[in-house]
Structure 1
Amino acid sequence: MKYTKVSLLFQTILFSFFAISLPLVSIAQTPIDSSYYYYGAINNPVHPNDLPSGINFYIQKKITDLNSKDTLSAISDLRLLAIGEFKIGNNFNSENHIVEALNLIQSMSSKDTLIDAKVGLYNQLGRIYRASNNPSEAIKSYDNALQIARKFNDSVILLNNKANIYKDQLDYENALDIYNLIYQKQVYSNDKFQIALVLDNLGFVQSKLNLPSALQNILKALKFREETNNLVGLYSSNKHLAEYYLDRKDTAKALIYAEKVLSLANKINSSSLKLEGISLFMSMNKNPLIHEYKRLTDSISNTKQIAENKNAFLKYNIAEEQKKTQASQLLQEVEFRKRLVYQFLVLFVLMILIGSYFIYRNKYRKARIEEIYKTETRISKKVHDEVANDMYKVMTSLENNVGIDSKVIDEMEKIYAKTRDISRENSAIDFHQDFGIQLNDLLFGYKNNTVTVVTRNLSKINWEGVPELNKTAIYRVLQELMTNMRKHSNATSAALVFHKNGSKIQIDYRDNGIGCDLFKKNGLQHTESRITSLNGTIIFESKLGHGFKASIII
């Protein structure tokens, strides 16, 4: 059984989003063979490779369909490509696929019969504008789709997505009106996918308005999505539950759902959802520096997104583009250069912020570790100079008193021995002496008639270039491991092997004791925190009755 603690490094967080897409309407001939598989890989991805493989398949299929003059199938291919690219965070590519599909529809004599295809494409375009922080254009796209939509389910999803825009803008009252409307229309249907979609968003908005039925609606939506194994829907439900408890300062429950959010994002293999999940974790961190960094990063990202929005849908109206004058084109070129300069400045500022953060964090961490070691040494000295010495004086005076029970003296001697051991375990390390010799003396100090201690390669390690903080951590961790071995393991032998790999030192510890249940061995957390505070790793491996192992890299 292995127990490994993994530290997540701070990452640059860009804004992200989530929306539910319209179910694909069949606008071409029924797909056969592998088309069924890749159709599902795009619309309901389960494995990490589903989306990339689905996108590659439909890129090739679109080329084949266009070469064979099968325009209807090519439009369907483009629709699927737009959805797939959107799910992995490639909004610009998704937008281009939609524009190409709309151009193909416009070129067909039967364009007026392809209403369902146009509804789906306009809906997808609205989702892209929402992700691009362009709410006004997103609402226009949804309204365009609503004007031509003929199916009830399509209208429900379009209204839901329109309400999502109001939710993004924190206009919860308008969002609530729409969600209530479509829920009343949908409540008697048997479509769990649609009901879960509306219930989840309704519950989330109700939670923001502190309405009593909020949690009940979110949990009900989660149950429906678990029954249908809707990964994207499960992601949304868990995210809303995490935010629900975070708003109510229940960080423990929020963290449980946030972990599920990140796990689902990895399964879906969506970059935007992963970033959103990581951002959710950062919102739970109490460090004000992280919150300030996140705020600045989000602000810079939003500003950059607005500056870089490439509205490919404008290309759809080619005739209008051709009417632009040469002066207008020159102005666009100037604006483009300004954007390049702006992007460079944003990148430069971002690099400074990231660099400043890591410099500050390293200085703070080093100072904190040094203070901890100083505190340990100071406490050790006080235990020895005050507690142990006073205890010894009392023992001496009591020994001369004939009326004192010898058992009392024995118990006091045990207490004195414990205070002396505590003082010795946390006393200062003299770095002016050979550290290898001190470490050797420490390890062999645990050897006796019943316990054998063996070391390998200890004398080959050059300790002169190792920082004092690292030496202290190694000394204390090995001291704690050996003390645990002596007190609790019933081991008869312990072996330690030392390795030097570049600037890293690896120490492998092993004994033949009774082992332990790592999940109940809370005392190991202290050694773990010492190592991880210096960007090192420590891995424990143990089973009851099969000894104990530890691997340290620092």
Structure 2
Amino acid sequence: MDYSKISFNPYSLIFIFLAFFLPLESLAQISSDSSRYYRKAIISPVNPNDLPSGINFFTKKKEKDLELNDTLNAIYDLRLLSIAEFKIGNNFNSENHIVEALNLIQSIPSKDTLINSRVGIYNQLGRIYRASSNHVEAIKTFERALLIANKLKDSVIILNNKANIYKDQLDYINALGIYTILHEKRLQLNDEQQLAMVVDNLGYVQSKLNLPEALPNLKKALHLRENNHDLTGLHSSNTHLSEYYLDREDTVTAIFYAEKALNLSTKINSSSFKLNSISHLMNLSNNPLIHEYKRLNDSINNAKQVAENKNAFLKYNVAEEQKKTQASILLQEIESRKRLAYQSLAFIIFLILVGSYFIYRNRYRKAKIEEIYKTETRIAKKVHDEVANDMYKVMTTLENNSGIDSKIIDELENIYTKTRDISRENSAIDLRNDFDLQLNDLLLGYKNNKVNVITRNLSKMPWNNVTEHKKSAIYRVLQELMTNMRKHSQATFVTLVFKKEGAKIQIIYRDNGVGCDLFKKNGLQHTDSRIASLNGTINFESKQGDGFKASIII
């Protein structure tokens, strides 16, 4: 054997050193530290990898504990695995871990030493029932846990979860009764995380009952959770605050908190949290198609729940059945395929509805813009053909009548000029050919001995790639800005700079006029609506004596 080719891994050397020279107590401490680290990753996840890494660690630990016949630790491992899978959204796996833990408990002769484990396992099973909308079994399981709970902390958690069932059933009075009792025990809790949980749920129920203490309690819970960096708790707080403002028709603030909750669900890496956040954001939409999607999706999920019939005590006989039969394995495979089929169907329906919504919105917006353009053009033609022409005929007749005061003729001429200007400002635009030349002619038409108009990069813009709707809006908005300048600003200098910003066009207008009161906008009321109809933006900057600026992005 050629020993010169043997390579040494430094990490292996470190492990050999630890194994031979460290006492067994030190190695046990290392294992204990790892358990505490990954337990925290599951109970209070901070990073997206916390839950998956916790599952990986305790899966291996459970297998090792079972090999060593360490049943107590194996039960502990299974409980944490169930909590982690539940947070990710894998309720099926979460339930299997609970069933396996209950089987192990049945195998131990003396169960008095397992009170804390049994309390935690029943509480987790109740949460799974709640997630499955099996409220009757959930309450029974929570009450079963309460019968054996001997610590205030455990009792608070279980009672809080029981009150959550009443909250789900919209029975806010019963829920309020439990939350209020728990809140009165807050001085005995000495646990800010539990206190935040109770205060948040209390505030939520109070908000549904329109009680004045609701918002202060919701914000207090949010503050406590921010101080403790409790991401799962912050997700709940932001969701409840969003619903609080939604109930009071403050959609802007509701969306703000809902988006914060969605960001937290991504950070926690929980599918169930993310689905809840997206579902809540859908509730904030005014689009009937999205609400129809939610209704169909909820209906499919309910049907899926019935098909799965996933109930730990009904599906498994914990006291007697110790092994899974081949039939149960096949049943799981069938249920898994059903679940996949329902999810695929829901996704297809979602894509159809979203696609239909955007097509409908785009067509509606285009039709609306075309209608406005046709209306403006029709009015302009009518003003020119009927009002202006009739006015001109009257003026001609009066000019030939020597007895008419010249001031009256001058006034009529002013009216005729205004009528002609209105017609020109709303006349038809040729949007297909040489748009840059037409726009240049429009802008330079406002140039005279008193006003100098300068444009930059107008001819360099890719006008051929711009839709007719956008060209029309740009033409009309600049026409309104220039007309406003001529009538009100007393400007002597106007600049218009055109820029390409990605897929959008930016236009910056400036003049050196007297400025204006932005609250009045001096005849620019229509510019906002024109730009907004194309999902663009227009911002005004001005103050008396310091010129006027408008920035357009379309």
Instruction: Note the alpha carbon deviations across 1:242-285, whole angstroms, 9 max, x for none.
Output: 545544xx413x54244223214413535544544444444344
Counterpart Cα distance in 2 of 1:517 and 1:123: 66
Q: Call closer, same or farther: CA 1:106–1:510 in 2, change over 3 Å.
A: farther
Matches within 5 A, 1:74-223: 79-99=79-99, 112-183=112-183, 193-205=193-205, 208=208, 210=209, 214-223=211-220
Q: Call closer, same or farther: CA 1:358–1:166 in 2, change over 3 Å.
A: same
Q: Call closer, same or farther: CA 1:86–1:339 in 2, change over 3 Å.
A: closer
Q: Call closer, same or farther: CA 1:62–1:228 in 2, change over 3 Å.
A: closer
Q: Call closer, same or farther: CA 1:67–1:346 in 2, change over 3 Å.
A: closer
Q: 1:451 aligns with which of 438, 441, 453?
A: 453
Q: Call closer, same or farther: CA 1:298–1:341 in 2, change over 3 Å.
A: closer
Tell me if structure 1 keeps the 8 A contact 2:85–2:91.
Answer: yes
Q: 1:251 aligns with which of 229, 249, 261?
A: 249
Q: 1:54 aligns with which of 41, 50, 69?
A: 50
Give the Å deviation of 1:384: 5.1
Counterpart Cα distance in 2 of 1:108 and 1:83: 23
Counterpart Cα distance in 1 of 2:96 and 2:111: 19
Q: Counterpart of 1:493?
A: 495
Counterpart Cα distance in 2 of 1:65 and 1:490: 81
Q: Call closer, same or farther: CA 1:65–1:301 in 2, change over 3 Å.
A: closer
Q: Call closer, same or farther: CA 1:288–1:451 in 2, change over 3 Å.
A: same
Once structures 1 and 2 are overlaid, which stretch shifts more, 156-165 or 349-358?
A: 349-358
Give the Å deviation of 1:453: 0.9
Is 1:297 the counterpart of 2:294? The answer is no
Unaligned runs of 5+ in 2: 1-27
Q: Which amino acid aligns with 2:464?
A: N
Report the RMSD for the aligned CA atoms in angstroms.
Answer: 5.2
Counterpart Cα distance in 2 of 1:36 and 1:386: 87
Q: Counterpart of 2:360?
A: 360
Once structures 1 and 2 are overlaid, which stretch shifts more, 370-379 or 349-358?
A: 349-358
Q: Which amino acid aligns with 2:147?
A: Q
Q: Counterpart of 1:469?
A: 469
Counterpart Cα distance in 2 of 1:469 and 1:177: 59
Q: Counterpart of 1:377?
A: 377
Q: Call closer, same or farther: CA 1:330–1:251 in 2, change over 3 Å.
A: closer
Q: TM-score if structure 1 supplies the norm length?
A: 0.69
Is 1:509 the counterpart of 2:507? The answer is yes
Tell me if structure 2 keeps the 8 A contact 1:491–1:511.
Answer: no
Q: Call closer, same or farther: CA 1:222–1:37 in 2, change over 3 Å.
A: farther
Give the Å deviation of 1:161: 1.1
Counterpart Cα distance in 2 of 1:336 and 1:231: 31
Q: Call closer, same or farther: CA 1:261–1:424 in 2, change over 3 Å.
A: same
Counterpart Cα distance in 2 of 1:170 and 1:79: 30
Q: Counterpart of 2:6?
A: none
Tell me if structure 2 keeps the 8 A contact 1:283–1:291.
Answer: yes
Matches within 5 A, 1:13-28: none
Tell me if structure 2 keeps the 8 A contact 1:380–1:423.
Answer: yes
Counterpart Cα distance in 1 of 2:114 and 2:187: 29
Instruction: Note the alpha carbon deviations across 1:58-93, whole angstroms, 9 max, x for none.
Output: 245336645764966776565555444444444345
Instruction: Note the alpha carbon deviations across 1:203-247, whole angstroms, 9 max, x for none.
Output: 544554x4x6x2314523432442452555455455445545544
Give the Å deviation of 1:158: 0.9
Counterpart Cα distance in 2 of 1:308 and 1:351: 25
Is 1:320 the counterpart of 2:321? The answer is yes
Tell me if structure 1 keeps the 8 A contact 2:461–2:500.
Answer: no
Tell me if structure 1 keeps the 8 A contact 2:290–2:354.
Answer: no
Is 1:426 the counterpart of 2:436? The answer is no
Instruction: Note the alpha carbon deviations across 1:486-518, whole angstroms, 9 max, x for none.
Output: 77698653322458x8xx5x4243456679999
Instruction: Note the alpha carbon deviations across 1:99-143, whole angstroms, 9 max, x for none.
Output: 565566667788642432332333233223322333234334323
Give the Å deviation of 1:177: 4.5
Pick the structure with greater CA Rg: 2
Counterpart Cα distance in 2 of 1:60 and 1:442: 69
Q: Identity, % of aligned pairs? A: 54
Q: Which amino acid aligns with 1:320?
A: E
Q: Call closer, same or farther: CA 1:279–1:389 in 2, change over 3 Å.
A: farther
Structure having greater relative contact order (Cα 8 Å, sep ≥ 6): 1
Q: Call closer, same or farther: CA 1:428–1:360 in 2, change over 3 Å.
A: same
Counterpart Cα distance in 2 of 1:204 and 1:293: 27
Q: Counterpart of 1:7?
A: none
Counterpart Cα distance in 1 of 2:343 and 2:152: 44
Counterpart Cα distance in 2 of 1:457 and 1:153: 73
Counterpart Cα distance in 2 of 1:220 and 1:57: 34
Q: Call closer, same or farther: CA 1:41–1:347 in 2, change over 3 Å.
A: closer
Counterpart Cα distance in 2 of 1:106 and 1:517: 82
Q: TM-score if structure 2 supplies the norm length?
A: 0.69
